[in-house]
A = this chain, B = another copy of it.
Amino acid sequence: MHQLIEQIFRGTFQTQDASPPHDAAILPVPQGGESLAFTTDSYVIHPLIFPGGDIGKLAICGTVNDLAMAGARPLYLSVGFILEEGLSMETLWTVVQSMQRTAAEVGVSIVTGDTKVVNRGKGDGIFINTAGIGAVAPGVCIAPQYVQPGDAILLSGDLGRHGIAIMAMREGLEFETTIVSDCAPLHQPVQALLEAGIEVHCLRDLTRGGLASALNEIAEARQLNLTIAENLIPVEGQVQGACEILGFDPLYVANEGRFIAFVPATQVDPALAILRSHLPPDSQPCCIGHVEEADRSSLGTGRVILKSRVGSRRFLELLSGEQLPRIC
């Protein structure tokens, strides 16, 4: 079985490297003063296949997106599988083909991998780890510490689709039309912003904990207040309805194809135009708020402030209690 799997993977992933398994891949170093970006994530999502994707697509997009959020061009991926004994080969095949299709779409190479099999009842079908190497162009400095007072906060699209697609499947909820995960690679819109000379200060994809967690992490890291307006944040009607049924706030629900960008207020219009031309037509990139000038009021610093639809203001807190388990 192990050899069969290795053959499936090696046949599908078209590794550049023809050497036997368990060796390291040997790769050229990025040139021209670039830096390396390096990241990893494990994927344990349940169910393995969902509307809009599967654990394989997610494992490629998730790691590509972590690289993209550092301003890196994704170059190489590693893949580690932990398979549960008894997994159907059809499921594995679906997942592996989805990984290769997504990697090809992104233009990233799967260059090295590993497979382990655990006894039945000691895993759950398929767990995947991907690690990724990217190249960061000289002068690209994208991180919370570069966020500036006055920066605009752009959101790349509507919220909550991934988390609600998974929860609706798990809970057996049915809607007029199926809610489809937003799972997608995000490096193209990011590279387009950078190539157009948009001065991107910070990027963050809105995965576990959603928009609220991403904003809070950045506000706290930079010790500046962020103000966003609820009425500017797009949430699709069925997603909103499902959130009400399930008792979730869409601002905290996980996405796998949405990000926020901090850019100078003067660059909002060109940045949004670029995002619109590099994102699917149904995502609605928009400006949802801004970074406050250094605060001397009683609000303190490092907080996220939500202006509600009725005009009141409240702190948007970090999620306390359990996040949705195994959403990615």
Q: CB of A131 within 8 A of chain B? A: yes
Q: How far is the CB of A107 from chain B (nearest CB, A)?
A: 17
Q: List 19 A-B contacts (CB under 8 A).
A: A19-B221, A22-B205, A23-B66, A24-B38, A24-B67, A24-B132, A29-B36, A39-B112, A40-B113, A40-B129, A40-B131, A41-B80, A42-B80, A82-B82, A118-B127, A119-B326, A121-B121, A123-B124, A131-B131
Q: CB of A304 within 8 A of chain B? A: no
Contact indicator per residue, chain A 15-56, by CB within 8 Å of chain B (1) or not (0)? 000011011111111100011111111111000000000000
A19 to B145, CA, bound (A): 9
Q: CB of A314 within 8 A of chain B? A: no
Q: CB of A14 within 8 A of chain B? A: no
A72 to B23, CA, bound (A): 11
Which residue of chain B has the shortest Cβ distance to A41 in the bound complex?
B114
Q: Which residues of the other chain, B, contact A117 by a CB distance below 8 angstroms?
A: 325
Q: CB of A79 within 8 A of chain B? A: yes
Q: CB of A179 within 8 A of chain B? A: no
Contact A39 B121 (CB under 8 A): no
Contact indicator per residue, chain A 131-147, by CB within 8 Å of chain B (1) or not (0)? 11110100000011100
Q: Which residues of the other chain, B, contact A36 by a CB distance below 8 angstroms?
A: 26-29, 133
Q: CB of A178 within 8 A of chain B? A: no
A136 to B35, CA, bound (A): 17
Q: CB of A207 within 8 A of chain B? A: yes
Q: How far is the CB of A1 from chain B (nearest CB, A)?
A: 9
Q: How far is the CB of A81 from chain B (nearest CB, A)?
A: 7
A134 to B25, CA, bound (A): 10
Max chain B C-beta neighbours (<10 A), residue from A38, A118, A145, A205? A38
Q: How far is the CB of A87 from chain B (nearest CB, A)?
A: 13
Q: CB of A309 within 8 A of chain B? A: no
Q: How far is the CB of A73 from chain B (nearest CB, A)?
A: 12
Contact indicator per residue, chain A 308-324, by CB within 8 Å of chain B (1) or not (0)? 00000000000000010
Q: Which residues of the other chain, B, contact A133 by a CB distance below 8 angstroms?
A: 36, 38, 133
Q: How far is the CB of A149 from chain B (nearest CB, A)?
A: 20
Contact partner, A217, options B20, B121, B323, Cβ 8 Å: B20
